[in-house]
Structure 1
Amino acid sequence: MDTFLVQNTSDLNGCIEISGSKNACLPLLAAATLLKNNITFHDIPNICDVYSFLDILKLLKVDCIYKNNDLTLNFDNFKATSLVDSLMKTLRASYYLIPTLARNLNRFEISLPGGCGFANRPIDLHQKVFASFGLETYIFENKLVCKHSELHGTTFEFPYKSVGATVNAILMASFIDDVTTLINISNEPEIMCLIKYLKSCGIDITYLDSTVVIKGKKKTLNITNFTNIKDRIEAGTYLILGALKGNPLTIKYCPIGDLESLFKLFDYLNVKYEINDSNVTIYKSEIKKSIVLSAGPYPMFPSDLLPILVSYLGSSNLVHVVSDKIYPTRNQYVEELNKIGYTIVIKNNDIIIFPKKNDYEKNIIESKDIRGGASLIIGAINSNRKIKINGINYVKRGYSNLLNKLRKIGVNINEEN
């Protein structure tokens, strides 16, 4: 199990360049596979989840060349097949390949997707989406069995916002030669990036107020280049770290427009920052106001940033209450933060953050998911003590060149195997 050792760290100074978005690039790779679009994607992050997805694509005989954040995909030897493999269990986004298999096979099986285990994350909504297009699915022996005789367009209204189900619905609609209307889709920037790519490939997509109308095409344009968007969660993580320890910290290529909710929070808390084009310089800022905040679907405060925010709020002498409307039980990191001096209580899915204690019980804590692990790293930096964080492989799934970026700004951190 890989481990980070964080030791006494004073205020941080320097510059961090934000990488391409993890949550945007995986749907892009799935879309290119669906369309068999030989292409080079730019600004693909150097993270474990990307490598896992590429390993799965290789099972479909896709040629992948990844160098200097450019990823070239070639589908000349593509061969559709069932994906019953342990690789599928490591990555929840593997289910984005179901539309590709449905386009090429009338019956196939796929191992149930894996990913972070911080909450019960069923795929029943995905199954309802697929059913609306004529794709029958059922679970048997930890596999999703899929079959169809004829696929068709649909009108589907999402009962709640779901990024993953929205991606799969858009991908299904894009290759079926029919009209599909999707209502109450997720509005995340990552979804807009996917729509932009599909439109550049010639798919007729009209988006308005959480509704999208798609006129699918069997034959599409073969574009050769597309640039991924910047990672708003990575940017938000380092911005929060800057508010905690920046002296100052500059975040380059920050997707400012995608982080409006975070900057509104910073303004409320009187966090000092300066914006220059896409660069944000942020200064260590003491928290002098209590907050009550709920994370939820975009444009609300991002669920993926809530664990990181908790580490920052726990550094204050005030009481704060936060909750997560998307993953209300994503709180495994709380127990670990409490081991290193935080005082946090969970009550009815509310996370109540009290002033931080000076003493602490342990110096070894464990990461159990990507964002919770990032929260623990920030908590360890804030502790000004020697803290060992196990399970750091989770965090590597979502943060590109994490160790080097932290060292560059002055974090005293090392990796142990």
Structure 2
Amino acid sequence: MASFKVTGGRHLKGEIIPQGAKNEALQILCAVVLTREPVTIHNIPNIRDVNQLIDLLGDMGVRCTRLSESSIKFDASEVNLDYLNSETYKRKAAALRGSVMLLGPTLARFKKGRIPSPGGDKIGRRRLDTHFYGFMKLGAKFTYSAEEGGIYEVDASQLHGAYMLLDEASVTGTANIVMAAVLAEGITTIYNAACEPYLQQLCKMLNRMGAKISGVGSNLLTIEGVEELFGTEHTMLPDMIEIGSFIGMAAMTQSEITIKNCSIPDLGIIPTVFQKLGIKLEIKGDDIYIPAQENYELETFIDGSMLTVSDHPWPGFTPDLLSIVLVTAIQAKGTVLIHQKMFESRLFFVDKLIEMGAQIILCDPHRATVVGLNRQQQLRGIRMTSPDIRAGVSLLIAAMSARGTSIIENIEQIDRGYQNIDTRLNAIGAEIVRL
């Protein structure tokens, strides 16, 4: 198990380019199974979760031809469905949360799909009901076997369009249902659909492949089924979570950085939320410039009451950045309530921040109050463990701003979502050693 040794107190300066979007990649890569024709994907992030999915696709018989460091041509003309019954598939798919999105494409094209209970972050309950509710509305049969760790199976001789109202605006659930519905007979209407930029990208790519999806960008999707899909070329967005992480990192470490090629229109309210923390930033074309700040002060509501930052379905604030907002608020002036509505275990890393000297009250599994230190006291380096991707980077930000040296263990979690993060940050002045 690898670790980071982080020497705190370093001020960063320079430019950094965000990686391709992790959450988009997991959907887009699964979609290549929908067609027999080649699909070329650009700006693929070199991260653990994505690489595991590419490896899994290769084992399934998808030919993966690397064109450059971040571009791959996929050919799914000869998929081996027997592989889905193998122990190797079960082991690899169980280790990867994104493997669940293979169900929709295999169901649509081959009339059946099979996955073990998928892994991923330990951030609380992440149910799959929305996925299977959608599949069943399309005419599929769903079975679950609790033996050997749990196996989910769906099959349908003929998928047919249907109206459905999703019980939650699940991004992966919507993506899975959309991928199943594009080859279903008739018209499918999905209400309360997720509309995150990742999902919009998937729909745009599928439309270029010959699908007929309307309402893209809204929570009401209409899909007219087609008989087959064709090849295409697709470039993924920059990772909005990494962009937000860099904004918070710059503020906490009093650094002057420019984040390049951010695709500003696709960031939604992310820059605005960080500005509410008192962070100065400038939009320069498609770049974000963050000047070094001695202090930053949290806003309050109009009536003077304490600021609350909470997660919402898009276009609200993404839950993946609440951990970053929380750690950034540690050195702000003022108090903020962080309300994580979606996952009940995502705030459980704050004990490490408190041990470092942060003033945080964990109210319950979903809420934490941060009393900003306003630079009056520096965090101190400690030994800690990364519980999940976003908490891991939050701890990294805290360690970079702290006095002394910190050790962060289980950095495989960070590597799942952030590409060569130590090398890229060291290039602009950080001191991070991979042990």
**What is the TM-score normalised by the length of structure 2?**
0.90
Q: Secondary structure at the match of 2:81?
A: coil
Cα pair distance change 1:267/1:307, threshold 3 Å = closer
Q: Provide the rounded CA distance (Å) in 2 between the counterparts of 1:203 and 1:152.
A: 15
Alignment pair present for 1:352 and 2:361: no
Partner of 1:263, secondary structure, is helix
Higher mean alpha-carbon deviation, 309-318 vs 18-27, is at 309-318
Structure 1 residues 362, 139: CA separation in 2 closer, same or farther (over 3 Å shift)? farther
Q: 1:276 to 1:80 in 2, by over 3 A?
A: same
Q: 2:310 aligns with which of 294, 304, 313?
A: 294
Q: Report the Cα distance in structure 1 between the residues aligned to 2:426 and 2:379, rounded to whole angstroms.
A: 25
Which piece of structure 1 moves more, 152-161 or 164-173? 152-161
User: C-alpha distance in 2, partners of 1:331/1:127?
Assistant: 28
Counterpart for residue 29 of structure 1: 29
CA–CA distance in structure 2, aligned partners of residues 100 and 265 of structure 1: 36
Secondary structure of 1:281 counterpart:
strand
Partner of residue 225, structure 2: 216
- Which residue is equivalent to 1:48? 48
1:9–1:410: 8 Å Cα contact kept in structure 2? Answer: no
Query: Is the 1:249–1:281 contact (alpha carbons within 8 Å) kept by the matching residues of 2?
Result: yes
Is 1:275 aligned to residue 320 of structure 2?
A: no
- Determine the structure 2 residue equivalent to 1:71: 72
CA distance in structure 2 between the aligned counterparts of 1:394 and 1:387, rounded to whole angstroms: 17
Hey, what does 1:389 align to over in structure 2?
408
The 5 Å alignment of 1:173-212 reads 173-207=181-215, 209-212=218-221
Amino acid of the residue matched to residue 76 of structure 2?
A: F
* Whole-angstrom CA distance in 1 between matches of 2:56 and 2:320: 25
On the 8 A contact 2:275/2:281 being kept in 1, the answer is: no
Cα distance in 2 for residues equivalent to 1:261 and 1:250: 19
Aligned to 2:335: 319
Instruction: Give the gaps of 5 or more residues in structure 2.
Output: 300-306
What is the identity, as a one-letter code, of the residue corresponding to 1:48? Answer: R
Report how far residue 104 of structure 1 moved.
Answer: 4.5
CA distance in structure 1 between the aligned counterparts of 2:196 and 2:214, rounded to whole angstroms:
16
1 CA distance for matches of 2:333 and 2:19?
34
Name the residue aligned to 2:302. Answer: none
Residue 246 of structure 1: CA displacement? 4.5
Are 1:334 and 2:350 counterparts?
yes
Looking at structure 1, the residues matched to 11 and 324 of structure 2 have their Cα atoms a distance apart, in angstroms, of 18
Q: Supply the distance in 2 between the matched residues of 1:22 and 1:191 (Cα, whole angstroms).
A: 12
Describe how 1:70-89 pairs up with structure 2 within 5 A.
Answer: 70-81=71-82, 82=84, 84-89=89-94
Distance 2:207 2:113 in 1: 28
Aligned mates of 1:366, 1:375 — CA distance in 2: 11
How far apart, CA to CA, are the structure 1 residues paired with 2:322 and 2:7?
Answer: 24
After superposition, where does 1:61-140 map in structure 2 within 5 Å? Answer: 61-66=61-66, 67-81=68-82, 82=84, 84-140=89-145
Contact kept? 1:339, 1:362, Cα under 8 Å: no
* Percent identical: 27
What letter corresponds to residue 320 of structure 2 in structure 1?
Answer: D
Q: CA deviation at 1:218?
A: 1.9
**Partner amino acid for 1:352?**
T
Runs of 4+ off more than 6 Å: 359-362
Post-superposition offset of 1:359? 7.9
What is the CA distance between 1:204 and its match in structure 2? 0.9
Report matched runs for 1:372-383 at 5 Å.
Answer: 372-383=391-402
SS, match of residue 175 in structure 1: coil
Structure 1: stretches of 5+ with no match in the other structure: none
Match of 1:248 in 2: 256
Question: How many residues of Structure 1 are paired with residues of Structure 2 in the alignment?
Answer: 415
Residue 425 of structure 2: which of 403, 406, 409 is its match?
Answer: 406
Say if 1:297 and 1:326, in contact at 8 Å, map to a contact too.
no
Distance of 1:403 and 1:92 partners within structure 2: 24
1:36 counterpart SS class: coil
- What CA distance in whole angstroms lies between the structure 2 residues aligned with 1:361 and 1:409? 22
Which moved further from structure 2: 192-201 or 24-33?
24-33
Which amino acid letter does the alignment assign opposite residue 122 of structure 2? G
Change (3 A) 1:61 1:365: same
